Chains A and B, each alone.
Chain A
């Protein structure tokens, strides 16, 4: 008989938190789903002809046969293969870290690469560099898998046929001859934007040699209008970057600076430093967000207003007027002198803008307004001027010299190609055939050039269309340099020889200049010598410092203090369009960066495909996002059937171009606006990308690269099954996230104890004896919900560190995803205008772990340092532990994910096994690669703990000081987290960060009434709403009606099944 645990009532009072619209509406399917011990399909074979009984019968027979042939094999002979000549620094079995950097279009990310025996296995942030301070993000973590992607295996080809390197050398010579004879007029180069000074130097040399050559850059999501606006406001050759650590009031208008705006890590770090509230009286920043779709920045907002992107102009003009009203000045008068008088967008309360403006003005130079960098130039110029009027230039908004020199755009290159003057087109990186604006008809344009060459680290659609496909290098395979977002000069150091004999961009360019094939870092050294300006006798030392530390010290340009040229902006404001009317037949389209695959470059990366989108929790697909009201008016729906999202497929038509795609109803999305995530639908890229999502670039044109009006959605009557993880591993609504406003926190800092059942917990006694925890360290973790942005970088970092397999869309739909840490995203409030909270959940490492008591083979036990450890080699796969885990954090290997490709999981036992050699190279050698049939879960990175303990013992030798020095040990999730929301450490060390945070009054544990005593606890989220804003929520605490805890009155549970007691009742 099934034992029913009488959990306390889930919330007859206060706010409810919900993770999906199904949960909000309490659909019968969701209720049924919730009450299963395992998600449907996770444990059962619904359609499988092989029933459980038959399976056991067969297994019994095969075991008996196995017994007959027990002779087995002794271990085969293996070899130890040492180096013939040992390289310097290499000690077999010991890791080495090297500084390098990942090029990005907005500014490279300074990184450390961890290498084992010559193969890089993990990326970390460079702790020495201020833009990273040791943190990293999803793309940095996932780039390591890209390096080893088997789809990168390629040859030098011409017209699809393999050619020899000598042919390629001859071709370079031919291109040089041709370019010389036309002074370069016949040569065009289309390049991506890695912000590399060496490439910039070679480009200048190239343009000197071939003065009429065309050099164009194209990045589908590149900055452009922000630079235009900045040079308008602050003069040529300038660009800006926010400094959020100094900002106490932030207004973001359609700018996802914590997420897809590629706010680099410094933004997240700066924002969270102002967000962190430890004790009453600490200052907390306040974030206003105005945006069309619910973004990560929106989840952190104290006040969020959903607004269509095309209405941002009207909003900002009103804001400017309100700022002028609150702080009248002559310059604002002149700025607004020619501004059109636009009606406020529907549904926007003027009082909202007024109060927001007043709040910004009150904080003067510590306030900051941001807009999306792809919004129209006049809006951006207006916002820069407003920041200047608020006095924030130099404090929260830094103006620095521009890092790039202007080059032509892909449009002007297209015009040249059309005129027929281009004979040879060399494409460096990128994938214009896939992602060039649709109005250019780039594939046809490219094939009209007599000779096209494409250099790419991974063969993509452009390489297939080009005459020559040249294997390129990954950034971890070649020397290079780059500029960070703050303008500092970074070194890109190779970690491994090119796996498939690639050539880097700068090597290719230098050969095009007629120089011999460069050896090692020669090209970068030359640039370094120019930039570092060191005398000849010091250059060697300076270079080795540069390579060792990863950046040139003091190379960050000082921010300029410039006054905004508001009169230049005033004339532009007349271009601001009024907000369009709401019309279901003419929707607004927004082309958004995919948080998972960026502009499409990570589409063949299994980690990123399986990574749940932070807001929609969608994996392996992208979908059109719309609000529920829009869906209703168009007659579209989403159904959740057995945890699978069955989405209506629509035909989206914009200016005569059409794509078909599923829709996902997104809470908090603006009405009559449609978000189209880019980057999917790349079947050409490789087996992982195949069949994932739709290609939104087909609708995107060069003028409408961010937003467009006039989109039409038409029902097709078909549906598509989508793999969403939002309803997997649900713990029901039991006050898992706890929030308070700043005044509530100041009134009762221990508010978390008044929430839900915590005030009613009787003195619990454990039925089982507590495991002895007498270790030298006692590990614990605290997650601060106030600063966690929900970016999921911890998930990717954990995947990379702990050899977590990719299971594929089919398995995710069955609820079998393997991530050890997941980020639960909760909504609260109405589906149209919700607020959102993110909560990372990993193994709680319960002191009274329920999983341990049910394991029949002692495969999961406690160690003396308070860890709930998992011995894979003992596990027989009963899955009792996962059944008994109240937090749903255990993951089971239903298949041999490391031995079988995800489309061959169901093949029989005799089918060939094995995985790509290169994928094996990425595996962390210090973590077991798990096999089929074993349970796994977060270990608090026990391999790092043991490494640190061993290092302490090796250091101690014959002394007794075995303590791990404070701060030297970090878990993978903690190390990656740019918001520093995760701390980990030793509870026995009273001054450790983790001990101090656990002692805070706002610290609470999940499902505390179960008395499992988790070692992972949370700091309740503290919001800072402005009470003057209309509709502002003042009460966040879902208190049970008691101000203080009153456990005593409940200390003796009644003999009947009281809802307050946590014991089990039959």
Chain B
């Protein structure tokens, strides 16, 4: 009995080598054809507008070799792991250890984040990177309400980010209003736009919803570019006021914060202040989301994500449920946008392209739609990864796209695939058969 399965696996493995080679050869051939012209011949417009070209057969050969080797490795891995996929890779002991780690990871990460400005006080670069990561954490958490909780795929999230940024920039430069007055206004305006988008798309779902939100995001961007009298068009809005410490400016003047506290002025003060502002905003987003999940509206979002038809059958008002999801997500996007405007001091439509929406969406998806910790970790990984590839401007979007495809194939539920219901019965109830008998009730 035991010998037979052993023999069959052995046989399949020996037959496998020829099979693997054949498959890899086909892949290499396909790669050769694909890359032959696109990579093998490089075109460039000359000085008088006429095209020149030169050949790069070395690169094609290298790419084909990589594909050949890569597909051999993938096939071998597939045979080694077996059809069960990744489940057999992780033994139960490791998994319980990971869940133990998961319980303490979030508090540890939070404490570390609080201490970042203290530890890295002298390293401006790390502080700036930290602010950037936290901005994306906040955006990710905001989009998570729409995509992760309510299950509405929003490809135009950056529109609300833009609305928030331009609201603050225009209010501050035209009327001289302070950041702390404009921040809630930016959030409210973005939420308003969220409802405005939400109304027409109520009947749509899935892919159609995604495309309409994408179109909405593009429309906002195009209007910003073309409405030059208001937004400055492609030149953007510059010299946006920096935030103040509740009315006390953070500068080198006599009534600045440093002078009032009697300490020596340093430009790092403002960076540290910004760091804590965005941390507070992000934590606010997180806190509100967690609280909302325990309210009826949060439960309705999750029900909507799981099954819209069942949701309606249960008497949940899908209209208000969807609209609140859009409005809440948009509001946090607006907050983040206002913060972005005050941090940069300059905004232009360049910052609000579809790529940005896709990046935030990728963070949410990679983080495992609905998991707050996962989104934070994904933002850290994504933005950190982008920083690593900073010198390779073009390649990093290529790698980003590949990562998105691979994650979808490998772990469609994200790194922390977490979709556990937030409510469940703690006690088992016995149900009498009278209640479930066919034809009754």
Partners in one complex: no
